[in-house]
Amino acid sequence: MKFTLAVIFVAGASLIAGQASADGLYLISDYHAADAGNIASVAISGNDNALSLGQSFDHAGGANSLSIDIIGSLNGGPFDSAFRGMPAMAGLAPGQLLQSGHNNMMSIKLTGSQNLFAVSQVGSYNVVTSTVTGNYNQAAVSQTGSGNSLSFTQNGNGNRLTVVQRS
């Protein structure tokens, strides 16, 4: 497997993609990162993983931070995949990782294949920490407001999680 390391600067913001195979990361959109108040670190080992990363910094506080570590294939939202059941009700598309505001933090560690996930955080001081080990899992998380916090683990196959928090 061929590995690449790339640092991409978009309007002053940085996206760091490390250990991504040549065909393992499809950056669907950069979603207009506002400036250096956004930090994204992406490490992927596998094939046909698809993510849509979006961060918007409102200049009212500290940086938004996003960290993703994927080992496996067909994770995120590849090939126009769709959530089924409750995760579909969160209104997010698989592979969508969005943060808007300031001081938001997202950390996703995933080992397995064909896992669908999406996270949206709008506001400030919101935190999502996730560990997924297995295959065919689904997770959709939406946090709006300030000070929401979620930590979850999915172990095994075929698990589904939907969380909507508003403050």
Domain count, the chain: 1
Spatial CA neighbour of 48 closest among 124, 92, 118, 114: 114
Spatial CA neighbour of 46 closest among 67, 16, 26: 26
Q: Does the pLDDT of residue 50 top 70, yes or no?
A: yes
Q: Does the pLDDT of residue 14 top 80, yes or no?
A: no
Q: How does DSSP classify residue 90?
A: G
In contact, 52 and 95? CB cutoff 8 Å: yes
Q: Does the pLDDT of residue 23 top 90, yes or no?
A: no
Average pLDDT of the residues in 25-53: 71
Residues above pLDDT 70, as percent of the chain = 78
pLDDT for the residue 41: 87
**Residue 90 CB coordination number (10 Å):** 20
- Provide the pLDDT confidence category of residue 36 given band limits of 50, 70 and 90: low
- Provide the pLDDT confidence category of residue 35 given band limits of 50, 70 and 90: low
Domain that holds residue 146: 3-166
CA distance 15 to 6: 8
Average pLDDT of the residues in 82-111: 94
Model confidence, pTM: 0.82
Q: Does the pLDDT of residue 30 top 60, yes or no?
A: no
Contacts of 148 by beta carbon, 8 Å cutoff, 6+ apart: 121, 123, 126, 127, 165, 166, 167
Q: Does the pLDDT of residue 4 top 80, yes or no?
A: no
For 15-35, b where at least 16 C-beta lie within 10 A, e where not — what string? bebebbbeebbbbbebbebbe
Computed over every residue of the chain, the mean pLDDT equals: 82
pLDDT digits (tens, 9 = 90+) for 99-157: 999 999 999 999 999 999 999 999 999 999 999 999 999 999 999 999 999 999 999 99
CA distance 66 to 14: 11
CA distance 43 to 19: 5
